[in-house]
A = this chain, B = another copy of it.
């Protein structure tokens, strides 16, 4: 094996590889996601695939707009509080891992404590009214826009190392 994972390759990797990225959530703001129910701390915007990663905070005792994950999956890890999707049998508690396949439609409901969860999302979030008409949409770029606008409005520097 040595002839291939040798010093020349290791040196090449050193020169070529993307920079590592390390953020502590204490260094990032809570950015409003909507009208004051949800907030996020951006962690990664992958401009090559359209995936984004954020810490998501939802106020207690809220029912979010019914939404569909169009063209991408959701990976979540719940850190604080309890929440569920309307009609499902499980409740997300601290330490619950969730995979939702592309196309899933759900209505998220929080319980008595504020929720904080880590989410990795792809594709787009489409919001529905009760007649299944689409009334809004988020994707990597609208989330970026919320973050950049918030920084501008609050005199914060945009962390360009969030973008790949």
> How far in angstroms is the closest Cβ of chain B from A21?
4
Report chain B residues within 8 Å CB of A92.
22
Name the one of B12, B47, B101, B133 contacting A2, with C-beta atoms under 8 angstroms.
B133
CB-CB contacts below 8 Å: A8-38 with B: 8-10, 12-13, 16-26
Copies in the complex: 4
Chain A count of residues within 8 A CB distance of the other chain: 78
Q: Provide the main secondary structure of the chain A interface.
A: mixed
The CA of A43 and the CA of B17, in the complex, are separated in Å by 18
Would you call A6 and B71 a contact (CB within 8 A)?
Answer: no
> How far in angstroms is the closest Cβ of chain B from A159?
12
Would you call A49 and B18 a contact (CB within 8 A)?
Answer: no
Question: Given that A77-B77, A95-B25, A97-B23 are contacting pairs, would A141 and B9 also be in contact in the complex, using a CB cutoff of 8 Å?
Answer: yes
Would you call A102 and B17 a contact (CB within 8 A)?
Answer: yes
Q: A25-B96, A49-B72, A124-B124 are in contact. List 4 more A-B contacts (CB 8 A).
A: A5-B134, A20-B101, A24-B93, A72-B123
